[in-house]
Amino acid sequence: MRTEVGQLLFRLGDRLNNPVGILSVLDQLQYSQWLPEHELRQLSWTRFQALLHYAYTNVPYYRRALDTAGIHPSDITEPQHISRIPILRKADVQAAGHSIRPARLRRGAVPVDTSGSTGKHLSFLVEKVARSHFLAAQLRGLSWYGIQPGEPMARVWGVPFRLYPRLRERVKDRILNRLRLSVFDMDSMGMRRFIQLCRVFRPSVLYGYASAVARLAQFVNSEGLSDAVRSLRVAATTSEVLYAHHRQAIHEAFAVPVANEYGCCEVGIIAYQCPEGALHIAVENVLVEVVRDGQPVQPGESGTILVTGLLNRATPFIRYELGDIGALEPNPCRCGRGLPTMSPVVGRTTDWVQTRDGQSIPAHVFMYAMGTGIADRWGIREYRVIQQSLDHFRVQVVPSSSYRPEVEQSFAAELRRHIGATANVSFEQLNDLPKDPSGKLRYFVSEIGTGEPHGRQGG
């Protein structure tokens, strides 16, 4: 579909389907991003207070939770008071059922079902006005790379297994000017067919799960197919940690900027990376905290990320723990936007290696042990580490034709240096790594319990 036709269809669909148009919200966000940071923080805080009052008055779960904690919304007058509000976790949302929705629900809410990378099912509602803000925040991020709404997008994403949802997604792709490669169809034949279609489709954007886009890039590099996708102006990755070797492979394959998007189904886009490299928080829509042991940490210090979706009252997510580890950045970005910044997410709170001496070490220790340039140096396309016991680790690797077996000895030695000399490391070669039900790829799996931090943290 030509870009002009795609843009026209986007505008028509926006008018028909959204009571508050996405493009109207996008105009607002394009303006607000240049406001001074203190004004944006005040806007975010004002919206947080309004949401808290609404939730206490209208949502049974929050009335009960705040009363139990001995808190009234009028007590929360300054941002430093926010830590008094109980943290919301996925298990709380599941247990609350409909009590986490307003007793009298307003019209215009859309049901959402997700399992995410945890495999735990979650159902909630999103108001259409909030959904418009979710999508507008994403479009604003893409606009930083010169992408306009309705431009052709190549999407590396999951595909529903059931017939009707699959057909519905196919229609949406057609209307929204998208070409999709299923992450469940990423063998050589599927990727080659997708690249051939891109020659005709001429996408401006390549968008998808970080690991899947990186795998496509590795295929393009190995097969010498870069010329087939020269229409691209940006590659945007989401849903997973974007590792340095993935970013390098994507940039080499497509010769475009690689933008990191951070978000979740529950609150939408949380942050988007600008061309200067900073990850800007969409503070008009979401309030982000970083805590350790429930208390805020200083900018630059890592901790557990909490988010509050400021605009969705159909299912309020207030101080919601995503399970991600990250940090707020202390300094403004050189691009001049007033939007605060955060560091890229480095992993999940469940991604911790437990050691024999009682330490908990972040699982990205494996990335450092393997080193950068794993595809070139060692001939490894992908890898996953499974901790089977305190002393036993199984490393699954997907080798390329240039695989070098000596990586096994080198990796095992480096791993023992970080987590203890008694570590037993075995290797298993696979044709492909199994994905979770959503199509995402987990690089660390613990089989010895929750994998949550305990004792002293090292790394």
Is pLDDT of 205 > 50?
yes
What is the DSSP code (8-state) at residue 252?
A: H
Give the separation between CA 330 and CA 341, rounded to whole angstroms.
8
180 or 116: which leads in pLDDT: 180
Residue 226 CB neighbours (<10 A)? 16
Predicted confidence band at 458 (pLDDT cuts at 50, 70, 90)? very low
Is pLDDT of 192 > 70?
yes
Q: Tens of pLDDT along 138-182?
A: 999 999 999 999 999 999 988 776 678 788 888 888 888 999 998
Average pLDDT over residues 108-134: 78
- Whether 430 is covered by a domain: the verdict is yes
Overall number of domains in the chain: 1
414 or 157: which leads in pLDDT: 157
Domain boundaries, position 439: 350-446
- Whether 241 is covered by a domain: the verdict is no
Of 36-45, 359-368, 376-385, where does mean pLDDT reach its minimum?
359-368
- Whether 410 is covered by a domain: the verdict is yes
Residue 451 contacts residue 352 (beta carbons within 8 Å): yes
**Does an H or E element contain 156, and which?**
strand 153-157
- Whether 439 is covered by a domain: the verdict is yes
Q: What is the CATH number of the domain that holds 384?
A: 3.30.300.30
- Whether 46 is covered by a domain: the verdict is no
- Whether 18 is covered by a domain: the verdict is no
Is pLDDT of 117 > 70?
no
Is pLDDT of 450 > 70?
no
The DSSP result for 365-418, as a single string, is HHHHHH-S-HHHHH-EEEEEEEE-SSSEEEEEEEE-TT--THHHHHHHHHHHHH
For residue 317, which of 307, 331, 303, 325 has the smallest C-alpha distance? 307
> Mean pLDDT, the chain, as a whole number?
86
Average pLDDT over residues 372-395: 77
Alpha helices by DSSP H, 59-187:
60-68, 90-96, 128-143, 163-175
- Whether 423 is covered by a domain: the verdict is yes
- Whether 148 is covered by a domain: the verdict is no
Token pair, residue 251, equals 């940039």
Give the separation between CA 67 and CA 69, rounded to whole angstroms.
5
For residue 143, which of 327, 340, 335, 344 has the smallest C-alpha distance? 335
